């Protein structure tokens, strides 16, 4: 692999990785606060894509508007899911919450099939993201530059909210000790709702970027990116928002590079994430994310 | 211990005998569609009961049955197909030796399916039981995905996305319900031994279980490997029931169906898993109408594929919110209970008459 | 060689030193108390001895074996049983099942032998059942054998936890605040129970307790720790009159 090819793959890897990263943020935020793997997160991302799709197609909105409205709607969807499905099981054993999350995931996927239809739909790619850049023998879509810029900007905004606002402080407190935070007079449910809204909005943004990159959408499109983003969140240390982005980048680069080096293994691309997850488990069982036996 | 032990044993044998008489009549007089549902019920009892052993009884929430069923299905299919058939269906790349020359009878193939899957489960257990809770769920889910991806790519073993076709339709109600009987016997006996009690102890409080000398890891492995064994044989029966297998058959969707069953039945209850396996299998068929076009007077509703799964996933969420313990909770069927009820009924009737 | 000895035990969690250079030896048959204010590191000592934490430094020897680094279930098998500060029974199981489980680690039948109810397993099951009944008899819970364990009142749950620990066949019994939450009558019964089981089973008892009346009555020797460090040791009378202890602990009460 010469330098040009390498740079080409590097750009691909970074743009894919930052998408995993932005989706992973939602996982990591919710897990940090509720200790719940929001299985439905990938499907929330899918919903974001469809909101944007229908915004452009049915209401003929300019794409900028459509995207923003889709992100807002997805944030609201996140709040509804929390209110309707997760809040009622918050006091129940953790397993119940996990099963609920799996149920919500399937509900969104199948409701998607019923409402949107199961077939692939072509996603509209605005001209702005549709030009090819040629640079010293490397060719890539200018989208590949926009994706990391946009995701890093969003990451910056989210970090600002978490570390510089009152709501963010409440989030950090809840992740430390929910009951005590409640006793301090913080409206815990409201903060959790905001967390879901933020995570879902980030997922929608990630999903729209995803659909711009791979402009075919269908109701099951969220499953694989969702699972991989989860692995990214674990890689970066779950609960750690910046880490999620780093985990995403590692994963994206690993996937792209492996396929570049060994094209014959490209069929295994979807297994890489889980391979990484399993290796972490074998060698750092408690280091990155294992829970110690309760005292 | 139980003064009615002998009586209950006799009742069980009678009930099983009656069950097989009914099966005989069923496969003789029912339509082939109805027999297929009956087969599915038997098969799903096996899968749900063995899945419940690790998830419900031992409390290790895991999401791998699709992987186990896939391994079992492929193992048995590759063994029952004749060398000539294999040579014919592997058109892109030829099948590797020794699979290319081996052919075994159905029962040997099924046993091999169980053993291979159990070995896989055993090895997998070393990796996955380093974690618990949500992580266990996601890692086992990951294994399921990896198995599917591998099945898609190991062209020389699985024939890749083309899958294996024209398997002999060996599976019938005797096989499906026979295996269900053996699985139920094994699991319900196991949970009543001290091994089973130790599994429950691990579920309720792992630290306390360790404090009374229970090796939690070993008991998780026992439950997991047992589960893999029966899921593997079940996979073999599935392959020879539908006679065509390909990687798309073994997605997380299969696991989701089993999950609904054990949740509806009550996590931890074998009885519940049996009841729910039948209810969900039969209910799924019953609900077929919601996906077909409906005409009510002048209103025409077009066909809506996916509607059944909407109903099932909604059911799962609602169960978690309103009826977390399912039909049976962690209780089990017992003859004593039945006999008590019958006596109560007799008493009531006599007093009234 | 001592029956049980802990030497230079230190436990650090990150920067926090929970236990610092803890030493103790126990002679066979003793009842020894470990006391100290909340957060002094008492339960951490127990968790190290019982195999829940691996000590950062130091060694623990028990009947000629070095046991630190071994897993909790292995240590139980070697003959150290424990109870927990917050009662941890297997709630949905019956009283007798809670005790029978403790015999499981000594079962020789394989799981298949058990499933198929081979004669060996049947004998073992009978032994488990009888053994559990005897122990329940001893702690006064025999009549409640078939009840669900979480339906028992608090004091009896404590007794059941002790019964469960006894059933593992220990030589050393670790009791973590056995009298917590008990009324004076229950506490008095507990004193009698602990002494009785010590005598019947040839146990050595090492216990943590806040109830001073209980400790003074039952312990032959005690050790006081504060902020992870030993501040005194001796007979109950000596401890009662120790300036540092009064200051650190008794003075507050």
Distance of CA A14 to the CA centre of its chain: 15
Q: How many domains does chain A have?
A: 1
CATH of the domain at A177: 1.10.3470
Under DSSP, the state recorded for C94 is B
Model pLDDT for residues C158-169, shown as the tens digit of each residue: 999 999 999 999
Residue B26 lies in a domain: no
- Provide the token pair at B62: 């895991």
Q: What pLDDT, on a 0 to 100 scale, did the predictor assign at position C207?
A: 94
Pairing of strands A138-141, C80-82: unpaired
Q: What pLDDT, on a 0 to 100 scale, did the predictor assign at position C69?
A: 84
Q: What pLDDT, on a 0 to 100 scale, did the predictor assign at position A22?
A: 95
Is B213 within 8 Å of C129 when comparing Cβ atoms? no
How far, in Å, CA of B125 to CA of B225, rounded?
8
Q: For the packed helices B5-29 and B173-192, what is the interaxial angle rounded to 10 degrees?
A: 160
Q: How buried is residue A131: exposed, middle or buried, by Cβ count under 10 Å (0-12/13-18/19+)?
A: exposed
Residue B240 lies in a domain: yes
Q: What pLDDT, on a 0 to 100 scale, did the predictor assign at position A278?
A: 80
Closest by CA position to C209, among listed C228, C193, C190, C185 = C190
- Band (B2; pLDDT cuts 50, 70, 90): low
Q: Which residue numbers in chain A have pLDDT < 70?
A: 1, 281-282, 284-295
Model pLDDT for residues C33-62, shown as the tens digit of each residue: 998 888 888 999 999 999 999 999 999 999
Is C76 within 8 Å of B212 when comparing Cβ atoms? yes
Is A95 within 8 Å of B145 when comparing Cβ atoms? no
Residue B147 lies in a domain: yes
Q: How far is A159 from chain C (nearest CA, A)?
A: 27
C-beta separation of C72 from C51 below 8 A? yes
Q: How many domains does chain B have?
A: 1
How far, in Å, CA of B112 to CA of B168, rounded?
17
Residue B216 lies in a domain: yes
Model pLDDT for residues B289-330, shown as the tens digit of each residue: 888 777 777 777 777 778 889 999 999 999 999 999 999 988
Q: Is the per-residue pLDDT at B219 higher than 50?
A: yes
User: Which among B61, B152, B309 has the least Cβ separation from residue A110?
Assistant: B309
Q: Which chain A residues contact residue B211 at CB under 8 A? A: none
ipTM of predicted complex: 0.91
Lowest mean pLDDT among B97-106, B238-247, C130-139: B97-106
Residue B235 lies in a domain: yes
Q: For the packed helices B252-265 and B32-52, what is the interaxial angle rounded to 10 degrees?
A: 80
User: Is the peptide bond between B98 and the residue preceding it cis, with omega within 30 degrees of 0?
Assistant: yes
Residues of chain C with CATH 3.40.50.300: 1-79+169-253
Q: Is the dihedral of CA B215, B217, B220, B221 positive or negative?
A: negative
Percentage with pLDDT > 90 across chain B? 69
Give the structural domain span for A190. Answer: 3-283
Task: Tell if the pTM clears 0.90, that is, is over it.
Answer: yes
Closest by CA position to B188, among listed B16, B22, B69 = B16
Percentage with pLDDT > 70 across chain B? 99
- Provide the token pair at C205: 């008892």
Which residues on neighbouring strands pair with residue C33, listed in sequence order? C207, C222
Q: What pLDDT, on a 0 to 100 scale, did the predictor assign at position C251?
A: 54
Per run of 10 residues, the mean pLDDT along chain C (length 253 residues) is 88 86 92 88 92 92 89 94 93 93 93 94 95 95 93 92 95 93 90 94 93 89 88 87 76 50
C-beta separation of C42 from C229 below 8 A? no
Q: Rounded to the nearest 5 degrees, what angle is found at the Cα of A194, between the Cα atoms of A239 and A292?
A: 25
How far, in Å, CA of C42 to CA of C45, rounded?
5
CATH of the domain at B327: 1.10.3470
C1-79+169-253 CATH: 3.40.50.300
Mutate: best of C73, C74, C85, C127, partner B, most B CBs <10 A: C73
Q: What pLDDT, on a 0 to 100 scale, did the predictor assign at position A284?
A: 64
Q: Is C148 on the interface with B (CB under 8 A)?
A: no
Give the structural domain span for B93. Answer: 32-293+305-352
Q: Is C3 on the interface with A (CB under 8 A)?
A: no
Residue B125 lies in a domain: yes
Residue A202 lies in a domain: yes
Closest by CA position to A108, among listed C129, B231, B316 = B316
Q: Which chain A residues contact residue B314 at CB under 8 A? A: 103, 107
């Amino acid at each position: 692999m010469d330098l040009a090819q390498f740079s080409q793959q590097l750009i691909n890897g970074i743009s894919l990785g930052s998408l995993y990263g932005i989706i992973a943020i939602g996982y990591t935020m919710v897990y940090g606060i509720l200790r719940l793997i929001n299985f439905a997160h990938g499907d929330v991302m899918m919903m974001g894509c469809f909101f944007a799709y229908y915004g452009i197609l049915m209401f003929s909105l300019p794409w900028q508007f459509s995207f923003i409205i889709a992100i807002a709607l997805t944030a609201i969807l996140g709040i509804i899911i929390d209110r309707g499905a997760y809040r009622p099981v918050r006091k129940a054993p953790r397993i119940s919450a996990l099963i609920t999350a799996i149920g919500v995931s399937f509900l969104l996927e199948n409701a998607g099939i019923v409402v949107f239809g199961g077939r692939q739909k072509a996603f509209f790619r605005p001209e702005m993201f549709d030009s090819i850049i040629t640079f010293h023998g490397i060719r890539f879509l200018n989208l590949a530059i926009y994706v990391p810029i946009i995701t890093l900007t969003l990451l910056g905004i989210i970090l600002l909210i978490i570390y510089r606002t009152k709501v963010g402080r409440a989030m950090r407190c809840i992740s430390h000790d929910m009951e005590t935070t409640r006793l301090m007079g913080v409206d815990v449910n409201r903060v959790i709702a905001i967390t879901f809204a933020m995570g879902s909005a980030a997922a929608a943004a990630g999903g729209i970027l995803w659909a711009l990159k791979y402009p075919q959408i269908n109701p099951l499109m969220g499953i694989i990116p969702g699972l991989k983003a989860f692995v990214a969140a674990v890689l970066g240390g779950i609960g750690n928002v910046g880490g999620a982005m780093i985990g995403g980048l590692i994963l994206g680069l690993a996937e792209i590079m492996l396929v570049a080096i060994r094209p014959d293994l490209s069929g295994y691309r979807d297994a890489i994430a889980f391979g990484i997850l399993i290796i972490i488990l074998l060698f750092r069982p408690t280091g990155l994310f294992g829970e110690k036996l309760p005292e | 211990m139980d003064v009615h032990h002998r009586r209950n044993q006799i009742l069980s044998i009678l009930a099983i005998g009656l069950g097989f008489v009914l099966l005989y009549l069923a496969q003789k007089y029912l339509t082939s569609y109805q027999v297929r549902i009956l087969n599915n019920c038997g098969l799903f009892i096996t899968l749900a009961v063995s899945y419940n052993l690790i998830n419900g009884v031992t409390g290790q929430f895991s999401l791998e049955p699709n992987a186990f069923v896939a391994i079992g299905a492929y193992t048995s299919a590759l063994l029952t197909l004749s060398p000539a058939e294999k040579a014919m269906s592997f058109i892109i790349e030829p099948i590797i030796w020794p699979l290319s020359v081996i052919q075994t009878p159905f029962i040997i193939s099924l046993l091999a399916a169980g053993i291979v899957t159990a070995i896989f489960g055993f090895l997998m257990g070393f990796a996955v039981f380093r974690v618990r809770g949500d992580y266990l769920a996601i890692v086992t889910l990951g294994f399921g995905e990896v198995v599917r991806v591998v099945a898609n790519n190991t062209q020389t073993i699985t024939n890749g996305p083309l899958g294996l076709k024209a398997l002999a339709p060996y599976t019938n109600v005797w096989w499906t319900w026979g295996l269900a009987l053996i699985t139920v016997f094994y699991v319900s006996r196991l949970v009543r031994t001290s091994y089973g009690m130790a599994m429950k102890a691990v579920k309720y409080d792992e630290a306390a279980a360790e404090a009374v000398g229970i090796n939690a890891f070993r008991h998780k492995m026992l439950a997991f490997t047992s589960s893999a064994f029966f899921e593997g044989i079940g996979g073999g029966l599935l392959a020879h029931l539908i006679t065509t297998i390909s990687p798309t058959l073994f997605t997380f969707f299969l696991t989701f169906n089993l999950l609904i069953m054990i949740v509806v039945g009550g996590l931890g209850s074998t009885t519940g898993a049996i009841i729910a396996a039948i209810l969900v299998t039969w209910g799924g068929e019953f609900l077929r109408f919601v996906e077909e076009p409906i005409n009510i007077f002048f209103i025409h509703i077009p066909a809506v594929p996916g509607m059944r799964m909407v109903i099932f996933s909604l059911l799962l969420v609602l169960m978690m919110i309103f009826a977390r313990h399912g039909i049976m909770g962690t209780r089990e069927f017992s003859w004593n209970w039945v006999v008590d009820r019958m006596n109560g009924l007799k008493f009531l009737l006599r007093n009234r008459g | 060689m001592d029956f049980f000895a802990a030497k230079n035990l230190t436990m650090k969690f990150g920067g926090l030193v929970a236990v610092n250079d803890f030493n103790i030896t126990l002679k066979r048959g003793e009842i020894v108390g470990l006391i100290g204010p909340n957060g002094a590191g008492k339960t951490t000592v127990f968790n190290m001895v019982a195999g829940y934490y691996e000590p950062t430094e130091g060694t623990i020897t028990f009947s000629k074996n070095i046991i630190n680094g071994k897993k909790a279930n292995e240590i139980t098998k070697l003959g150290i049983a424990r109870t927990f500060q917050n009662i941890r029974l297997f709630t949905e199981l019956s009283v007798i099942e809670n005790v029978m489980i403790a015999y499981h680690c000594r079962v020789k039948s394989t799981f298949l032998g058990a499933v198929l109810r081979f004669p060996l397993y049947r004998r073992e099951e009978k032994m488990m059942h009888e053994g559990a009944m005897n122990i329940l008899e001893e702690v006064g819970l025999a009549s409640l054998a078939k009840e669900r364990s979480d339906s028992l009142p608090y004091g009896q749950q404590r007794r059941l936890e002790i019964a469960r620990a006894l059933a593992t066949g220990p030589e050393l019994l670790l009791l973590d605040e056995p009298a917590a939450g008990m009324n004076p009558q229950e506490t008095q019964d507990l004193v009698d129970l602990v002494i009785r089981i010590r005598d019947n089973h040839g146990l050595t008892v090492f216990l943590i307790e806040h109830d001073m009346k209980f400790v003074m009555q039952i312990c032959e020797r005690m050790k006081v720790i504060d902020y992870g460090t030993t501040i005194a040791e001796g007979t109950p009378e000596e401890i009662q009159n120790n300036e540092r202890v009064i200051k650190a602990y008794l003075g507050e009460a």
